Amino acid sequence: MQVSSRRQVVAGNWKMNGDKALVEQIQRHLMVADLKNMDVVICPPFPYFGLFDSKVKLGSQNISQFDSGAHTGEISAATLNEFSCEYVIVGHSERRADNHESNELVALKVEQILKAQLTPILCVGEPENVREDGTLFDYIAAQLDAVLLQVDISQFTDVILAYEPIWAIGTGKTASPAQAQEVHAFIRGHLAEQDANIAAKIVILYGGSVKGNNAQELFSQADVDGGLIGGASLNPEEFLSICRAAN
């Protein structure tokens, strides 16, 4: 049973995967699915953006912290706006690791996303050793605080958060519903120290090996408002069954 009154969101992060055939299959599946009570977002590699029907909500997997100019390989908020992209994943652990994105850089990107009136999907989450040594909450708090230093809490009405424990991403090792709920409640409580009203309304997604067979139990936790889906978003049937669990 769904206990949260917040709007449910499921975002598929294709990462560096997918092809034209998948664009077509996903669209076909979404077209017939009756997902009225939620937002479904697809975050494909950039070249596929133009192949999607305008009814599909699109998200970017990255954005530059700069407005425009000599930044080879980067993509600006203005460009994303032109292709009716509405969401931007920011602070994903793979970009933090592969591209050395610090908490401070993530904060600048969130600022850029909000300035362009796009919706950031701001990812936070700990590596396994941090969970084991008991500093999990300090680690997540530091990730949140870097953004709160750059972006006023009042602007968090337009932010979606995603809790993605790094040890659960692409490993098949999902956080238990209780583990996810514990961190989601911590995140909401941490934001509530600055603004309880905004904290109560903010959508917090869970990400990390969400599949059709575990989505329902994860999404039924009080502070879990949907999911950020990697591997399973590449299988249209599986992805749809995850969306149905949130709807």
Point out the residues that are catalytic: 92, 164
209 touches ligand PGA by CB under 6 A: yes
- Which residue is at the shortest CB distance from ligand PGA? 230
Q: Show the tokens assigned to 160.
A: 């979606």
In the region spanning residues 2 to 31, those forming contacts with ligand PGA, defined by CB under 6 A, are 13
Beta-bridged to residue 1, according to DSSP, are none
Q: Show the tokens assigned to 139.
A: 């680690």
Among the listed residues 41, 124, 210, 240, the single contact to ligand PGA using CB under 6 A: 210
Considering beta carbons, is residue 230 or 236 the nearer one to ligand PGA?
A: 230
The upper half-sphere exposure of residue 97, i.e. CA atoms within 13 Å in the direction of its Cβ, equals 9
* Distance linking the first and last C-alpha atoms of the chain: 11
44 touches ligand PGA by CB under 6 A: no
Among the listed residues 114, 121, 148, 229, the single contact to ligand PGA using CB under 6 A: 229
Distance (Å, rounded) from C-alpha 105 to C-alpha 136? 21
Q: Residues touching ligand PGA: how many (CB under 6 A)?
A: 13
Q: Would you say 108 and 150 are in contact if contact means Cβ atoms under 8 Å apart? A: yes
CA-closest candidate to residue 122, choices 154, 146, 97, 98:
146
Interacting span for ligand PGA (CB under 6 A) from 27-35, 61-69, 72-80, 207-215: 207-215
Among the listed residues 165, 226, 231, 236, the single contact to ligand PGA using CB under 6 A: 231
230 touches ligand PGA by CB under 6 A: yes
Give the helix ranges, DSSP H, for the chain: 20-32, 77-82, 93-98, 103-115, 128-132, 136-150, 177-192, 196-201, 215-219, 236-246
Give the x-and-dash track for 81-110 against ligand PGA (CB under 6 A): ------------------------------
**Could you list the residues that contact ligand PGA (CB under 6 A)?**
13, 164, 169-170, 207-210, 228-232
